[in-house]
Amino acid sequence: MAINIIPLFFSIFLVSFQPYFSVGQTVVKGGYWFPGSGFAVSDINSTLFTHLFCAFADVNSQTYQVTISSSNQAQFQTFTKTVQQKNPSVKTLLSIGGGGSNVNTFASMASQSSSRKSFIDSSIKLARSNNFLGLDLDWEYPSDSTQMNNFGTLLTEWRAAVVTEAKSSGKTPLMLSAAVLYLSYYYSSSVTYPIQAISNSLDWINLMAYDFYGPGWSPSSTGPPAALYNSGNLESGDNGVRSWIQAGMSAKKLVLGLPFYGWSWRLTNSNNNGLFAPANGQGLAGDGSIGYNQIKQYITQNRATKVFNVTVVTDYCYSGTTWIGYDDTQSISTKVAYAKGKGLLGYFAWHVGADDNWALSSKALQTWGA
């Protein structure tokens, strides 16, 4: 392994690319918006954010071009203009993919030079023609070492294309980010993210530090869905952040994810209502997830008991046999203080439409400070 040449190569790369990216990204106080939330773009209080992600554009499974579905076109096209009305300096990124998209399409797109080119060229064109200032890739997730390697190649080529486009158009280069698993590897030490390519090519990465526990995949006990600390267990934001730093990512390129939603369980016994209490699947209708604004309503309407666990850094509430794990203002402020203390670039929320009168967004902003 040519480990000893990496630092030299890395520093040459940094010197030559320094002028083209990361300039001005001193902090990311971000939030995702998606049309399915039913939340109007014009209602986003963009003064509370430095960056807003518009989610999601799709990848065509045959042409590998990035497209915006016809039902989203009107809202996506005016997204930047609309959010900049309240905050002219807010930066917007078009987010591609997401948890609901087909992972096989990403894997096969990234596996060939011609399909990577289709993806890259169309994404840049789409961002420019819709007035976005950046692109965000949400491939959830590259899941074997070949896919990780191809992901790295894709990022390297994407950055080169963005630099070339900026030179020829005379415009500021598009920002490039990606939403990634909270860990620097896909659950196995042999399936690691391509750290060098990520570090050289992306302005930052969004760590999805949530969905650690949920009724769909851990039905038999309650759990802290987005624990910051989780003694003895892998699933925590702190483990994730430390894994990326240990793998060689600069803390300055890490942005910590904050969920503006929770997961519900049905308790086996209403008197056993703590973390990791026996449960039997979801507690609320649908997929068991619930937005923060609805959790607040649920608490009021059901006079639910609220608990903040400072060791784990999670909130939960319960009423009868319904139990909901989520992040309230104390969890949010503890996590934002953690992100700042660790020297991270910032934080992002999924998703802005689930906030409750901007309580969480304001708390995050206020905690980070100027």
Ligand X SMILES: *[C@@H]1O[C@H](CO)[C@@H](O)[C@H](O)[C@H]1NC(C)=O
Contact footprint for ligand X (CB under 6 A): 45, 47-48, 275-276, 309, 311-312, 358, 362
End-to-end, the C-alpha distance of the chain in Å comes to 43
Whose Cβ is closer to ligand X: residue 78's or residue 233's? 233
Query: Dihedrals φ, ψ of 101, to 5°?
Result: -90, 165
Q: How far is the CB of 212 from ligand X (least distance, A)?
A: 13
Q: Which among 189, 182, 172 is positioned nearest to 128, based on CA atoms?
A: 172
Instruction: Give the residue with the Cβ less far from ligand X, 115 or 230.
Output: 230
> Does 140 participate in catalysis according to the annotation?
yes
Shorter beta-carbon distance to ligand X: residue 110 or 275? 275
289-291 vs 261-266, strand pairing mode: antiparallel
Peptide bond into 51 cis (omega under 30): no
Q: Least CB distance from residue 136 to ligand X, whole Å?
A: 24
Residue 236 beta carbon to ligand X: minimum distance, rounded to whole angstroms: 11
Q: How far is the CB of 234 from ligand X (least distance, A)?
A: 15
Question: Which amino acid would we find at residue 132?
Answer: F
Handedness of CA 324, 330, 332, 335 (dihedral sign): negative
Structure tokens at 161: 């294309």
Kindly tell me which of 30 and 98 has the beta carbon lying closer to ligand X: 30
Residue type, 84: Q
Q: Rounded CA gap, 263 and 282, in Å?
A: 8
Coil, strand or helix at 95: strand
Kindly list the catalytic residues: 140
